[in-house]
Structure 1
Amino acid sequence: MARFTLRRAALPDMTAIARLNRHVRKTCLPYLPDLHTPDEDLAFFQEQVFPTSEVWIAEAGVQLIGFAGARLDWLDHLYVDPDWHGQGVGSALLSAVSDNRAELNLWTFQENAQARRFYERQGFGLIALTDGSGNEERCPDAHYRWIRHQSRPDQR
């Protein structure tokens, strides 16, 4: 297994996080519309994510390879560089953000079969499917929930 480390994100990490977010969305979710500029992505993380969320990053040396952001009982972001898929990065990030939580909810796109399989393997259960009218991309999505007493997100 490849070696990587986890740590809490700091403000200087924001630019790399916004860049990785854009890269993963373009590479793994090509069906999504590109609604924002890179500067708007950075502003989103600066103004909305970092002030309200617990953000963890995964690094291989000095390279950012993944990040997760959670607030209250919601996992809002879990993105892993495609070159690192299947190497435990997503599971490790999920475990870090779930460590002190009794429950986590998330939204993922219905078309994102890889993410849906990942979350289901981690013990998340499907709550609802929507037509996408509630998200800015207007793509059908799926609401998942994990509850601590049912399983642990770091289980496979």
Structure 2
Amino acid sequence: MFIRKAKPTDCEVLFKCWLTSVQATHTFVSAEDIESMIPYVRSYLSSGESEIWVACEGSGTIMGFMGLSGSKMETLFLAPEFHGRGAGRLLVQHAKSLCSDLTVDVNEQNAAARQFYEACGFVVEGRSELDEQGRPYPLLHMRLLAGAARC
């Protein structure tokens, strides 16, 4: 496995990765809300506003991606067929190497994601009732503990 910066030609693969991941892991999000997120996600992936890093298999197949904006991990999504194979941990380790004061927001209803980030050394610092678009999906605001062990 290796990490590389996303290229403009990756956008469609990254979008499909996001969509299949959300459908598999965010069962608490309505189909209508997922549909309404699509234009935002497509814009995000093509905007260049965040650094987007891609985890690839040795063959170059994209497994997932992470968006980093300053010290905040904006996104981390893996295609479902690559869950549990270490790509998520590799992306978090890469983010840690770039920024020691790392934060991430996690949907409260996504217990597996919260457990993953806690295993990587993050702790909950706060909570919001609504997500960033004002939908009723509470967010947990997490921060990497100083000196946290590698995940």
Instruction: Place the TM-score, normalised by the shorter chain, in its bin.
Output: 0.7 to 0.9
Match of 1:101 in 2: 99
Deviation of the 1:28 alpha carbon: 0.9
Q: Does the Cα contact within 8 Å between 2:55 and 2:91 map onto a contact in 1?
A: yes
Query: Is the counterpart of residue 112 in structure 1 residue 116 in structure 2?
Result: no
1:43 paired to 2:43: yes
Q: Distance in 1 between matches of 2:26 and 2:52?
A: 22
Shift of 1:8: 1.3
Give the TM-score of the pair, scaled to structure 1: 0.84
**Equivalence for 1:92:** 90
**2:135 is matched with which residue?**
137
Matched, 1:18 2:15: yes
Equivalent in the alignment of 2:51: 54
On the 8 A contact 2:131/2:139 being kept in 1, the answer is no
Opposite residue 80 of structure 2, the aligned amino acid is P
TM-score normalised over the length of structure 2: 0.86
Correspondence 1:7 to 2:4: yes
Question: 1:41 is matched by which residue type in structure 2?
Answer: V
CA, structure 1 residues 37+138, in 2 after alignment: closer, same or farther (shift >3 Å)?
closer
How far apart, in 1, do the equivalents of 2:76 and 2:139 lie? 15
Task: Label 1:63 to 1:39 Cα distance change in 2 as closer, same or farther (>3 A).
Answer: farther
Shift of 1:17: 0.9
What do you get for the CA RMSD once the two structures are aligned? 1.9
Q: How far apart are the structure 2 equivalents of 1:77 and 1:130? A: 17
Q: For 1:93 and 1:133, how far apart are their aligned partners in 2?
A: 23
Picking from 134, 144, 147, the partner of 1:146 is 144
The change in CA–CA distance for 1:36 and 1:54 in structure 2 (over 3 A counts) is: same
3-state SS in 2 of match to 1:34: helix
SS in 2 for 1:22: helix
Is the CA contact 1:66–1:89 (under 8 Å) kept in the aligned structure 2?
yes
Q: Number of paired residues?
A: 147
Q: Does 1:29 align with 2:29?
A: no
| CA–CA distance in structure 2, aligned partners of residues 134 and 67 of structure 1 | 20
Unaligned runs of 5+ in 1: none
Return the structure number with greater helix share. Answer: 2
